[in-house]
Amino acid sequence: FTKKKRACIYARRKRRRFWVHPINTRREEHGEFYRLIQELKMYHERFRGYFRMSVSEFENLLQQLAPSLTKEQTHYRKPIDPEQRLAVCLRFLSTGDSYRTIASSFRLGVSTVASIVRETCDALWHCLRDEHLPVPTEEMWRSTARRFHERWNFPNCLGAMDGKRISIQATANSGSLYFNYKGTFSVVLLALVDADYRFLMVDVGSYGSNSDGGIFANSGLGKALRDGTLNVPPPSELPGAPELGKVNHVIVADEAFPLKPYLLRPYPGRRLPTDKRVFNYRLSRARRISENVFGILSQRFRVFQRTLQVQPSVVDKVVKAACVLCNYLRPKGEDQNHATEDDRDCEQPLQGFEHCRGQRASVEAQNVRELYKEYFNSPAGEVA
């Protein structure tokens, strides 16, 4: 055998020196969960900075997740209680620290931390999604459209859509599937958000090499919109403009997406006439909400400011858990009138569209965009 093969055989045969490492046996005396976190509960601002949520939000979340995180008692070792499991997962999301770093501070095994993060993210998604990220009903769509008109002066709008690339480590034998135009490896989070910085629908796990438009076309959201199975309200008149007739409810997006009867994108080209520039400005004003939501997500959960050193399947679980947690931590509807600190830090400036690329669109889609252009250039559609 070569030296390398002998080393591999020796590594496979090498036995573990400890069943539980001596450092980890003193977890309850010196572990971060039993020392620091218990003290933080007495100082709410410090607790919020540590977990990115208040003590009451943490305790309410624990109450919902406890049945899913409770492990069976065995004769071999004491199971890790649900509160500590939730603390480990939230610490990973809020900092993006490596499993090894978190394992050292909590005095747990690295593989134990990995399984806790994976299982807790799964539990977060399955326990919270029905309440905080449900499939929209017609009444929910109408409420979203009303809020977009009230807050951003864009009527009949069902939401703003955009894609965010989540950086990951290069995956073995994946070729260029995850390699994106920015020169990094990533998976894509495609999200539809409402006027109050809440996720309405998410699609996670597409290859980073794919375009946002292509991901949307193959997503469940895109297929449901094409098939008319998403409970979208029927066309209705724009406020103060009955002469335009009934107009489709639409989603607003940037130039990376195609123009559809239910999906508005800006006019492409340079030196646009005033009426088209007004439309592009109003569209940008509404669709930037999706960019702001991604900023809030990254600001609250710093794991997205780093390259995730986990497998793509685990990345999907982490992203979905973070999205549903963002909704859990935000009030609904009219309670959102005042921007939070995360909102102010993450709002993006309005962007121009002088370099938009054109895409072929149906006559129906172009007519819908023309109706909105006429409305925004009329007295009824002016910003108050």
- If asked whether residues 123 and 159 sit together in one domain, one would say no
- If asked whether residues 143 and 264 sit together in one domain, one would say yes
- If asked whether residues 267 and 359 sit together in one domain, one would say yes
3-state helix, strand, coil in the chain (%, to 5): 50, 10, 35
Contact of 77 with 24, CB cutoff 8 Å: no
- If asked whether residues 58 and 200 sit together in one domain, one would say no
Is residue 338 in some structural domain?
A: no
Is residue 17 in some structural domain?
A: no
User: Per residue of the chain (384 residues), what is the pLDDT tens digit?
Assistant: 566 666 665 555 555 566 567 676 777 787 788 889 999 999 999 999 999 999 999 999 999 999 999 988 877 778 899 999 999 999 999 999 999 999 999 999 899 999 999 999 999 999 999 999 999 999 999 999 999 999 999 999 999 999 999 999 887 777 788 888 888 889 999 999 999 999 999 999 888 888 888 889 988 889 988 888 889 999 999 999 999 999 999 999 999 999 999 999 999 988 899 999 999 999 999 999 999 999 999 999 999 999 998 988 899 999 999 999 999 998 765 445 444 445 444 444 333 333 334 445 689 999 999 999 999 999 988 886
Cα–Cα distances in angstroms (integers) from residue 311 to residues 108, 174, 182, 228, 322, in the given order? 21, 12, 20, 35, 17
Of 78, 98, 131, the position where a domain reaches its end is 131
Is residue 261 in some structural domain?
A: yes
- If asked whether residues 170 and 112 sit together in one domain, one would say no
d(CA 156, CA 359) in angstroms, rounded, equals 23
Domain that holds residue 244: 135-330+345-377
Is residue 8 in some structural domain?
A: no
Of 131, 166, 201, the position where a domain reaches its end is 131
Is residue 13 in some structural domain?
A: no
- If asked whether residues 35 and 170 sit together in one domain, one would say no
Q: For 315, what's the count of Cα atoms within 13 Å in the CB-facing half-sphere?
A: 27
d(CA 70, CA 61) in angstroms, rounded, equals 14
Is residue 323 in some structural domain?
A: yes
